[in-house]
Amino acid sequence: MLQRSSQRASVRSKMMSTSTALTTAEELMELPCGEGFRYELIDGELITMPASGYPHGRATARLTTALGQFIFDNDLGEVFAAETGFKLTSSPDTVLAPDIAFITKQRHEEWGEPPGFLPGSPNLVVEVSSPDDRPSKVRAKISRWFTGGASQVWIVDGKKRTVRVYRSPSDSVTFSGSDELQADDILPGFRISLDRIFWIDARNN
């Protein structure tokens, strides 16, 4: 345990002292978790993200529960929770960690169970927006997911109470108000009201 902690401290010190050095997926794997922030890797650049707040965490949990139950009940594949890393490019490395990910049984069989990051995009990526997410940053991440092999990307916006379903970077549909979120081309029969995702206690209004 001490040796492992020493290795992680060494990796983190190297990254902090050499801002121009590119970080690898292997080095990212060595970084410690649970210190109030999360990491992603974009073209070798280490991206530090703060821990999620209450609205983000609640929306993620509600949608994860609904998706997971539907996918498991219908034996469609595997669901992965936040902080699961997917390696999209190498040399320089890009590793992204969506809030929710779904991979089909076929893709799961092709990938197996690798010991590190999963090798490509999941079939479905769900990202819950943070208040400081810039539109250009969101668009760039959507493009990376599709380039890596995603079939759909959902952008969940708690502030606007919308879910935007992308089938490509330039093809999307937005669900809002009391709509039921659905995407029959990837999850036939799945339905969930946006009121369930963005539920607000009337006592707090």
Banded model confidence at residue 185, pLDDT cuts 50, 70, 90: very high
Percentage of residues of the chain with pLDDT beyond 70: 85
Please state the domain extents for the chain. Answer: 50-204
**Mean pLDDT lowest among 29-33, 49-53, 142-146, 200-204:** 200-204
pLDDT for residue 200: 55
> Phi/psi at 61 (nearest 5 deg)?
-65, -40
- The pLDDT of 153-162, averaged and rounded, is 95
Which one is the CATH code of 50-204: 3.40.1410.10, 3.40.50.300, 2.60.260.20, 3.90.1570.10?
Answer: 3.90.1570.10
Chain-wide mean pLDDT for the chain? 86
Nearest to 141 by CA among 200, 95, 82: 95
7 vs 79, higher pLDDT:
79
pLDDT digits (tens, 9 = 90+) for 93-113: 999 999 999 999 999 999 999
> Which strands make up the sheet holding 124-128, listed edge to edge?
77-80, 100-104, 124-128, 152-157, 162-168, 171-176
Report whether 158 contacts 185 (CB < 8 A).
no
Which of 143, 42, 22, 33 lies closest to 86, judged by CA?
42
Nearest-angstrom CA–CA distance, 171 and 174: 10
- Report pLDDT for 86: 97
